Each structure stands twice: as C-alpha cells, then as structure tokens.
Structure 1
C-alpha cells in the first residue's frame, strides 16, 4: 500500500466544528472567535476569567540536534497529546505557528506528520489567522515612524548611524539582509544603512510570545530600544509614540488560536519565534491558558534541546512562572546513524555500530535536560526502515544513563502507537519528581550567563568575545539590564557553532559575533558563529513544487 502524503492525510481528516473542540475544554462558543469552521481565537475575556484556576501538568517535547533525516518533534508532540487523551487524560497541545519562509524554502510545514497532525494543515502553513502578518505590520509601522521622525526634524536627536531597529518580512530573502534606504534626494529623507530580518526573528514576535495580556504587550512594545543618540543614550519606541498603534495592530494576534488534531483533540497554535535566532517557544498566553483548561499540556520547543529546551527553561519558564513536570526528548534511529557518520543516502541499511556511535549526541541532551532538575524520557520516533537491533541499541544506551527510551509509532498509527509513552509520562508527571530550576540566577553578570550556557550546555571550553562586545555588555549592566536572561543565536545542527560538527563535541570555542538588546522582550540576543537573522532560499526552494492542481487543491506543501 502506498503511503499517503501528509497533505492527503490531512485533507481526508474528519474534522469537527471548532465549537465542539472548544467544548472539550469547557470553552463556551461565545468565547471563540471563529475563522471559518475549523479554527478560532480564544477571547481575552475568557482567558482572564480562568486565571485563578490551578494549572495542569506541563510536558515539554524537545529533541536531539536536527539532521536532514528529520526527527519529528512536532509529530511526537501531537501524537503524545492524542495518546494522553486516548488513555483517558484531558490533554491539549501547544505548538508554534509556521513561518512562510521555511515553508517555501526547505524545511516545509510545521503541523506534524502522518497520522499525528494538526489540521487544517494548509491554513496553518500559509496565512492561518493572520498573526504573522500583524506582527510584520506592527514591526514595520515602527520602522516607518522612526524614519519619519528623523525626516521631520529629528526632535529626539537620534543618531542615524545608530538606528538599531531593522525591518522584517516573513520570507527568506538574502537580498534584503543589508540595504541602504532613503535614497533619492531630499524628499525621501536621509540615506542610511538598514536591513531586514525574518518576521520570526522580530522582537515584536518575542514580545507577543512573552506578554501576559494587552497591557503587558503595550508596555513591552514601549520598552523597545530603537536606536541611540550621539551621547549613546537609548531612544525607546514610546519616545517615537508608536507603542499604542502597534498594540492596536496586535490586538487580535494576542489571542491564541484553537484548532484540532486528526483525532479531534484540542490544539493551541500561537506565536512562532525561531529557536536558533529567537527563543523558539509558542506564546505564554497559549500555554498558560491551556494549563488552566486541560489536565495535561504537551508543548514543544524548537530544534534540539541545546537551543529550544534551554530557552524554554531559562527564558519562557523564568518569565511566565511555569515549569515542566516531565520532558520528552525525541530521537530517531536514522538521526543516530547520521550522527554516527552515515550519509543520508545510506540510511536504509542496518548499521547498529553507527547507531551506537551517534548516541553520544542523545546522551548529552539527556544530561543537559536533567541538569534543570526535570525527569527526561526518550521517544524513539519510529521509521519503517528501523530494525529491531537498531532500536534495541538506542534503548540499551539510554538505560545505561539511567533514563528510558520508548518506541513510538504515532506517525503510522496515531494515538494507538504512542500509548506506552503517554502512560509513562503521566506516571512521571503525577509523581511530582520534577525539581525545576533555571541554569543561572538573574543576578549573574551577562557574560557569565553566556559562559554558563556555553560550558554547561554546549560543553565548550571558552567563549570568544572581543573587547567591544564585553564593553557593550557592561554598559547594558550599568544601564540596568544586567538581570536579563540571554538568548543564544547559533546553529541548530551542532552543540558547537560549527554546523558540521555532529555528535557530542568538546574542546570547542563559542565565538560571539554580535550582541543585541531586546529590552521589550526582556533578553539579550547573543549571535554566535555564522548565524543569519534573515535566511536565504536554497538552490531549489520548495516553492518551485507548490501549486494548485486541477481540482483547486494545493500540491507540494508538506
């Protein structure tokens, strides 16, 4: 039997009206703002009405370093949510929204896969409910108001060489990374250098995902530093008077989106900062709301645990006052083989020794997650080509570290294929084993925070940062920003800053190229190695294969 593609499975889904999905969480239909029949926003009034309820159990799904073989982290998040519901728990899923850039680039969609998907798949991977467009618009409104302020006399005395606020768009477009704007003479303003980042790297995205409500959102928008005067004093978004209008543009985007899995279980899909260049978690509002209306909430953090989980714990949990009761680390036999030196085209052949060699990467992620005081279970996301001996090799390795690995077949079988993991995770969550703590205290100096992550999570020997960067960090500390956590921007493919260094490298250095202050979001972005905040499209972008067929259905979106 030929395997159906993800989009074919999603299209054949037997969806329920979104009001019925809301009813499973006791969200009344008048508190749902429908976008069509199968998606809705949950109203701010309802969210504030459940704020005093106790929280359910929070399960974080993370993974090993991603490989081109694919790990299936979202697929496992969705599968586990379905699995928990199958064994009688009231569970909801919280994932991020998809960015158009990777959809038309190389990564594809972000709604799970096989029989563990969130639907409507096409909508979620395209415009969905317009949240990212709202974020793009709010960000660029501020950009326009900055240049307009300078044009009309620059009353704030902004040094146009030190405008740090760039522009954004939700597409991979390397041509826009560094630009010169305001060319064309007096009428167009003062020429200066600028540039674009991808929308998911915008500080507005981070702010939306970390704000508790509209008032908090507007305050944080006002806190954005847009640039500096000649005397190096900061100029804030509220000085430009853009914060109110930006909040208006984001009013609806602040409300979480409710959709459903293929098995008609509730899923909140909201926010979507990249995990390699931003903090990589869905919104605090969605997660906290889910915790109030469900007994179990399964959420994911982007890429491997060295990025996503670290930021989930050190940034999101710290800011939101939440903590995970258990962590699932997703691994695949194929990815173990790739970490063990097997080429992608040779992954089909059994190679137990390569699996064993590649397990070091998984082992380090297990140790790192446990260092936050949270119990970790490994989910082996099953592929049809995996052999019993290869699966057994992973299980034995994980057992040798005092953890356990559970084979999961949710991609092929939906919730029925993941009940073992669901049962074990619920036992761990109920046992209260988790003793969560962040990796570093607020009081630690900014450079020491960077060093702590580099040494304890990446296992680097040193952080390389020239005097200019160290001085900048010290200036921010003197200005009162020393208590902020750090958001490391580095490659997702390795523990190091070299994307080709697989496995569990030690003895490497972490070079810091640039630091950016996100005063509104409340963290310092630390850009390491060759990481781009505006990706480019690959030689053959996915967009070349995406089209409407004769029936008017979308093809090529995956």
Structure 2
C-alpha cells in the first residue's frame, strides 16, 4: 500500500495561481491589490457591498475529540465543491495562531486535498496581522504602565489592572508574572501576566469592527484597569486609541489566498472559540459575500461554542446571518462520544456510534431552535465501515435531519459534490427564520442561564461569590445589555471536559466575568479554561524544519 502524502507535501505540489489571477476571477482589478509576494494579498475595504445578495453557509461541528473532525477541511472542500457545480463560492476562514501550530493542534488550513494555500505562509507569519495585534496590545500595556509611573493622574489602582501582555505562543510560565521590579526607575511593581494573542480583546475587536473608524471607537472603549474608587479606566482615557488604530491600519484589511483548486479564500482574524467568539472577521465575511454568490465560513470548535457565538455575537453585531448551517460529524468522533478509546477507533462499533450520536442530535436540536436549516456532513475516514456509515445516516433520517457524506479530504471538491448540491437545494427550499435565543434586554444571569439550558442542555448555573459580585458591578457600569461570550471547555457540552456525549443533570459553574467593552461582550469563564495555553509533552515544533533552499518541513 502506497504511503499517503502529508498535508504539506500535497500543498507544495499544488498548481498555485498568482494572486492577481485569483483576484481577476473575482472581478477585482489589479490596482486594488496590495500584494504580499506572488500568492497572497491584502484587499481594500471599499470592495464591500453593504447589501450583498450572496448566501452564507456556516460550518460547525459536534464537540471535538482527539480523533479529529475536519471542520476546516470540510469548509474548504465545500467551497471547492460549490465551484465544481457551477456556483461562484468564496471561502472565509480564520488565521492560524503560532501557539497551537507549534503545539498540539497544528495549523488551520484544512487537510488532504481540501486546503488553503500557501499553507506554509498562512500557518507561520502570513501577512503579519497577528504580530500587529500583539504589538498594539503590548503598546497599550506599556503606555498604561508609563502613566502609572509618571504620576498616575487617572488614579489607577495597580491591584486592579485587567490589561496584561500577549504573545503568539503557548507559554504557561508567563501566565502570572510580577512586573516593575528593580527600584523606582524601573516602574511601579505590580502583578501581571501574558495571554495568547488570539485571546486579546484587540483580536476580537478587529474581527467585529466594520471599518477603521469603528475599530478606533471600539479600541477606545476597552477597559484596562479600575481606579481606587472601582471605576473603569479605558484605552480612551489614556488617549491612545489613535496610535493603536495606526498600528492596525493594514491588519484590518482581509487577506486573499486560494484553495488547492484555486477557489478564492479570504483568511482574516483568529479569535479562539473557547475564550473568545471564534469567528473570522466581519469585514472578510462581508467582502466574501460581495465578491461571490456563496460564502462558506466556519466557527471554532463545536456548535455549543463557535456557532452559538456566531449567532449571538457576530450576527447581532454585523447583521451577517447564515442561510444554512452545516454540522460536521465523523464516525470516529461519535464513537469516542459513545465511550470508545482513541486506540480502538479502527474497530467497527455501531453500538457506540449510536450512543455517541446523542451529541450530534443535541447540536442539531440547538441550531434548529435558532430557526435555521441544517445539513449534517459526515466526514468519512478510511476505516469507517459501510455499516457504521449507514447507521449514522439512518439516525439522521429518523430525526428528519438532512445528511450527506463528504470525502473532500481524499477527493477535494469532487468528493463534496453531493454535499454542495444538497446545501444549495436546502437553501433554495427553506427560508431561514433566524432568531436569537435571548434578547439584549435580558440580564446577564438570564443570558447565561439560557445558554446553559438551551444550548448545553444543563439544569442551570452556579455563580461563585466573585462572579456574583462582578454581576452587580457590571450592571452598575451599564454592561448588562451586552451579549455573553462563554469561555468553556470545547470537549463537552458541560463544563467538565470528561463528560462526553450528551451529559444530563449537570450545572455549569461561573467562576469569573471579564468585560470586553470594545468587542461588545462579557466573557464568562467556567471550569479551568486558560487564556494562555501550554505546550504538550512533545510539541509539534519538534517535527518542523527548513531545507537549505527555504522549503518548510513538518507543518500539518
């Protein structure tokens, strides 16, 4: 049996077009491009049509498992397949973070014959957007520290600094630090720490802003600390939102690349979905809708995280609403949700598949409660048996859920033809009647309770003493009307990562609230979710290298 080539080997052998030709296919004149080499370019915001007629397909998934679900692969493959059947489709994805790329998760360019390229560039520094966000975030930290050192006219309480530092790498040793040591000339000693860049509020703002002016307005609203009187201090109080916007003036522009089959792709922004809202930028999604007839975009992790936040945060802020939601599932993942060990997934186990399908059915139930049509895409792996595939399709049929097989990893767009045809048919047949599950006027407690009960299937919420005090403070500051951004484990519908499948009779404990006033949401921390991940025992970086002629090795 011949060896299956790796993702990077497939990508490096692809027939890649120069980016100006991808732009031509979209009707973009060359003078509008800002090239970054031959195969990627920035696009200006004036390409956005404020009332595009394109249909938006949101791709989400069951709760992820170590078996892998391939959500990005299906997103890219569906975009390619739509073009195969004569539709003008544009893919819109998030940018990968270097931390997970060099850690355990790997990159975020899809896989097999459904990838975005040049995958080496995209998975590494790309066009520098994440570095620009890192710089802007840390510039604000330095300016705030300098303000305190120079007399502290804003009366900032150094015990209540909420703005840390960031870097685009997993580094657990920097989660908590003490800064300003060394005497009066070195600043004022205080506790601080690092988050990963994609957890920065500036990343969330970049992905929710709809213009450079709106970006600046949002930056000004960011809360960085509290005074001795417990009043919020903002970036606008420090008068540096203009400087930060200047650092981000190029990063706000979407990046144009392509798939292995030369389908246009806009890759822009990369907020995490378990500690932020997990969607690519509003600007890129709207631009994709302005340039194509179909937009295929994704939201991070399972439907309980990324899709819920797309619908309650991104849609509410931007007006971007999906016409169809595709839920990616795999036989492997559902068997794990049914209790099978990762090392036994190659063995047929229909009973475990049926048990684990409860996870898929809960996500389908939730998405339908938003008034949206859904389509299950079964991402087929080589060891999935016909009996398992037929059982999963029968489960979907029994619950009146449309389902199609996706073989886009192995066959590219050709392996997604049936999926693309079913998706377009459902969009034409069914009108999405989207409605959020909670209203802006609901209290923060009500919003959190609604998500726990209606999205996770839990019994209710338990607030820690600290969270209860913060609820009162947030209401006093007028933040009660904002949507909530749940920071929860991605592996389970509950806040317990070990509770797979469809857990029952559980409550979710809220330990802390954080305000992201510029992004326009309240972050709700549950369980042990970290805003600075750590590297695994054997980081992926150990397999990476570069040849003497600059060819990347070991990326996946």
Determine if the TM-score, normalized by the shorter chain, exceeds 0.5: yes
Tell me the secondary structure at the aligned position of residue 488 of structure 1.
Answer: strand
Contact 2:329 2:376 in 1 (8 A): yes
Query: 1:388-467 to 2 correspondence within 5 Å?
Result: 388-467=386-465
Q: Alignment partner for residue 281 of structure 1, among 279, 284, 288?
A: 279
Tell me the secondary structure at the aligned position of residue 418 of structure 1.
Answer: helix
Larger mean CA deviation between 248-257 and 544-553 belongs to 544-553
- The answer for the alignment partner of 1:12 in structure 2 is 13
Q: 1:466 deviation in Å?
A: 2.6
Q: Deviations over 1:201-252 (max 9, x none)?
A: 0000000000000000000000001111111111110111121110000000
Q: Distance in 2 between matches of 1:54 and 1:365?
A: 29
- The answer for the alignment partner of 2:35 in structure 1 is 34
Q: Deviations over 1:236-274 (max 9, x none)?
A: 101111211100000000000010000001000000000
Tell me the secondary structure at the aligned position of residue 477 of structure 2.
Answer: helix
Q: Alignment partner for residue 239 of structure 2, among 232, 241, 264?
A: 241
Show structure 2 runs of 5+ residues with no match. none
- The answer for the alignment partner of 1:264 in structure 2 is 262
Show structure 1 runs of 5+ residues with no match. none
Tell me the secondary structure at the aligned position of residue 383 of structure 2.
Answer: coil
Q: Given the superposition, is the C-alpha separation of residues 278 and 537 from structure 1 closer, same or farther in structure 2, using an over 3 Å criterion?
A: same
Q: Distance in 1 between matches of 2:455 and 2:319?
A: 22
- The answer for the alignment partner of 2:196 in structure 1 is 198
Q: 1:411 deviation in Å?
A: 0.6
Q: Distance in 2 between matches of 1:542 and 1:162?
A: 37
- The answer for the alignment partner of 1:375 in structure 2 is 373
Q: Deviations over 1:454-478 (max 9, x none)?
A: 1111111121113431232232223
Contact 1:328 1:378 in 2 (8 A): yes
Q: TM-score, normalised by structure 1?
A: 0.98
Tell me the secondary structure at the aligned position of residue 236 of structure 2.
Answer: helix
- The answer for the alignment partner of 1:505 in structure 2 is 503
Query: 1:148-187 to 2 correspondence within 5 Å?
Result: 148-187=146-185
Q: Distance in 1 between matches of 2:542 and 2:466?
A: 43
Q: Distance in 2 between matches of 1:490 and 1:249?
A: 31
Contact 1:447 1:470 in 2 (8 A): no
- The answer for the alignment partner of 1:230 in structure 2 is 228
Q: Deviations over 1:470-491 (max 9, x none)?
A: 2322322232211100000010
- The answer for the alignment partner of 1:326 in structure 2 is 324
- The answer for the alignment partner of 1:86 in structure 2 is 84
Q: 1:55 deviation in Å?
A: 2.7
Contact 1:141 1:242 in 2 (8 A): no
Q: What is the Cα-based RMSD across aligned positions, in Å? A: 1.0
Query: 1:85-124 to 2 correspondence within 5 Å?
Result: 85-124=83-122
Q: Deviations over 1:361-397 (max 9, x none)?
A: 1111110111110011100001111110000111011
Tell me the secondary structure at the aligned position of residue 357 of structure 2.
Answer: helix
Q: Deviations over 1:479-517 (max 9, x none)?
A: 221110000001000001111110000111111111000
- The answer for the alignment partner of 2:70 in structure 1 is 72
Contact 2:285 2:295 in 1 (8 A): yes
Tell me the secondary structure at the aligned position of residue 377 of structure 1.
Answer: strand
- The answer for the alignment partner of 2:209 in structure 1 is 211
Larger mean CA deviation between 429-438 and 144-153 belongs to 429-438
Contact 2:464 2:512 in 1 (8 A): no
Q: Deviations over 1:136-170 (max 9, x none)?
A: 00000000000000000001111111111111100
Q: 1:550 deviation in Å?
A: 5.2
Contact 2:199 2:531 in 1 (8 A): yes
Larger mean CA deviation between 117-126 and 477-486 belongs to 477-486
- The answer for the alignment partner of 2:24 in structure 1 is 23
Q: TM-score, normalised by structure 2?
A: 0.99
Q: Distance in 2 between matches of 1:475 and 1:142?
A: 24
- The answer for the alignment partner of 1:58 in structure 2 is 56
Q: 1:46 deviation in Å?
A: 3.0
Contact 1:394 1:405 in 2 (8 A): no
- The answer for the alignment partner of 1:355 in structure 2 is 353
- The answer for the alignment partner of 1:335 in structure 2 is 333
Aligned residues: 555
* Superposition misfits of 4+ residues, deviation over 6 angstroms: none
User: Does 1:2 pair with 2:3?
Assistant: yes
Tell me the secondary structure at the aligned position of residue 313 of structure 1.
Answer: helix
Tell me the secondary structure at the aligned position of residue 525 of structure 2.
Answer: strand
- The answer for the alignment partner of 1:126 in structure 2 is 124
Q: 1:432 deviation in Å?
A: 4.2
Q: Distance in 2 between matches of 1:364 and 1:501?
A: 14
Q: Distance in 2 between matches of 1:23 and 1:62?
A: 30
Contact 2:47 2:290 in 1 (8 A): no
Q: 1:430 deviation in Å?
A: 2.2
Contact 2:219 2:241 in 1 (8 A): yes
Q: Distance in 1 between matches of 2:21 and 2:426?
A: 30
Q: Alignment partner for residue 386 of structure 1, among 384, 391, 394?
A: 384
Tell me the secondary structure at the aligned position of residue 240 of structure 1.
Answer: coil
Contact 1:301 1:309 in 2 (8 A): yes
